[in-house]
Amino acid sequence: LAEPFQKAKPVVEKIKAHGYNVYFVGGCVRDFLLHRPIGDIDIATSAKPIELQNLFSSVIPVGIEHGTVIIRHQNESYEVTTFRVDGTYTDQRHPDDVTYVDSIDKDLERRDFTINALAMDLKGNIIDLFAGRSDLDNHVIRTVGNGEERFREDPLRIIRALRFSSQLGFTIHPDTIEHIRKVRHEMKGLAVERITREFTKLFAGDYVQHGLTYVNDLEIYKYLPVFEQHHSLIYRIPKNIKPLPFFHEVLVLFHFLDRTIPLLTWVKAWKCSNKQKNAAMNLTKQLEELQANDLTPWLVYQLPRALYNSFIRLTNCLYSKKNITMEQLLQIEQTLPITSRSDIKLSGQDIIDLFPAFKQGPWIQQLLNKLERKVVAGQLPNDYYKLKEWIKWNPPAIN
Ligand code: ATP
Ligand code: MG
């Protein structure tokens, strides 16, 4: 067994020792068979949530009403879901009711795609009821059962099909494509948060161009926030786009497709967090600075280190001719005379003291802004006396 499975083994063994059926299931089995890095380990079992709570000391009831708990073991989290079949999906978000079942067979049947409906026991035996392994070998995404019904049950699966094609480079089976075409209009009712979660993974996928081709060809953009009102935007996404691992980068890309649509419109429509909004705003500002003045010390000074990689990816995507590198950014960073406003050798109080007759007001901040820009640009030395002298010769205009 591969390392992540080894680590989860004690959890699985304990469940098994108490007489329950238990398997590794879903993405981890798929990625293991594909020799891809294994993400989260998901476990499926005949044990009910209450029974798991009795067995383990650290159980978090994350989705207990759907039969899912998280078991903490040696600093890892394992999502453990009781074998179940789903009821109808009237809210297109969660099934209305779940029914627990004893065998894994029915549980695998409710899963979206054949490549995600594989289970593996502790000995490494694979349970493959829907020819998922052959679809893995042939790089095919195909629904478990009738696609039309499965997409109707939960239209998010349509987007999931595209995001797996983007992550794995797989082709969607022609029948499944046909079923997507039939059901796609039902994506209208989907919760935005669910769409955003899948699109975050789609844009981060190694084969993002492949995934976006499906978004185009299957006209999925007609059901996406903002794009639904502006269909043609989708064609402006650069054809040579590379993976964007963070959604704040995607927000910037979206905004640059048409600058008359404010960044905030995208942030709200795709229900992004404040953190994503702030990162996207900063990146937008620096990309505009790059466009106006090239790669200046001021730009690097304003850009937090944590956003360097995002900035580089976005410049490659939006201004491929500029070809900004990490070395360039780090080299400019090294030559910066200050790293933040507080490093300026003259304070707000010093400025007030220089002009005792002036009433305090926004002019103090404005003057500090000016000093900051000049110091960063190397036009003024960061020296108390030199700065003071400069202000004396360039007094603020107060009316
Ligand atoms: P990743 O590695 O990106 O997490 P994953 O396959 O684990 O991929 P998840 O979204 O974490 O994907 O879902 C875990 C598993 O649950 C899937 O492999 C699939 O079997 C099942 N699943 C998830 N969402 C759905 C859905 N909407 N409909 C049916 N089955 C689903
Ligand atoms: Mg997962």
Using alpha carbons only, give the angle 106, 107, 111 rounded to the nearest 5 degrees: 110
36 CB near ligand 1 (under 6 Å): no
Known binding site for Mg(2+): residues? 40, 42
Evaluate whether 347 touches 367 at the Cβ level (below 8 Å).
no
What one-character DSSP code corresponds to residue 167?
Answer: H
Give this prediction's pTM: 0.93
Nearest to 41 by CA among 56, 53, 23: 23
pLDDT digits (tens, 9 = 90+) for 247-263: 999 999 999 999 999 99
Average pLDDT over residues 349-365: 91
pLDDT on residue 178: 98
Distance 21 CA to ligand 2 centre (A): 21
Distance 361 CA to ligand 2 centre (A): 54
pLDDT class of 92 with cuts at 50, 70, 90: low
ipTM exceeding 0.95, yes/no: yes
CA–CA separation, 324 and 307 (whole Å) = 13
Evaluate whether 108 touches 73 at the Cβ level (below 8 Å).
no
Query: 3-class SS at 9?
Result: helix
Taken as a whole, the chain contains a residue count of 399
Tokens standing for residue 278: 């702030």
| Whether pLDDT at 231 is above 70 | yes
Average pLDDT over residues 226-250: 97
CA–CA separation, 19 and 38 (whole Å) = 28
Percent over 70 (pLDDT), the chain = 98
**Alpha-carbon dihedral 320, 326, 332, 333, rounded to 10 degrees:** 130
pLDDT digits (tens, 9 = 90+) for 359-399: 999 999 999 999 999 999 999 999 999 999 999 999 888 76
Ligand 1 pocket: which of 31, 43, 85, 112 to mutate (most atoms within 8 A of CB): 112
pLDDT digits (tens, 9 = 90+) for 2-33: 899 999 999 999 999 999 999 999 999 999 99
Looking at every residue in the chain, the average pLDDT score rounds to 95
Evaluate whether 354 touches 392 at the Cβ level (below 8 Å).
yes
Evaluate whether 220 touches 229 at the Cβ level (below 8 Å).
no
Q: Which residues contact 379 (CB under 8 A, 6 or more apart)?
A: none
Ligand 1 pocket: which of 42, 81, 135, 194 to mutate (most atoms within 8 A of CB): 42
pLDDT class of 290 with cuts at 50, 70, 90: very high
Evaluate whether 344 touches 371 at the Cβ level (below 8 Å).
yes
pLDDT on residue 87: 75
CA–CA separation, 157 and 163 (whole Å) = 10
116 CB near ligand 1 (under 6 Å): yes
pLDDT digits (tens, 9 = 90+) for 102-113: 999 999 999 999
pLDDT on residue 90: 62
26 CB near ligand 1 (under 6 Å): yes
Residues with Cβ–ion distance below 5 A, ligand 2? 27, 40
Domains plus CATH for the chain?
Answer: 1-135 (3.30.460.10), 139-224 (1.10.110.30), 246-336 (no CATH), 345-393 (1.10.246.80)
| Whether pLDDT at 44 is above 70 | yes
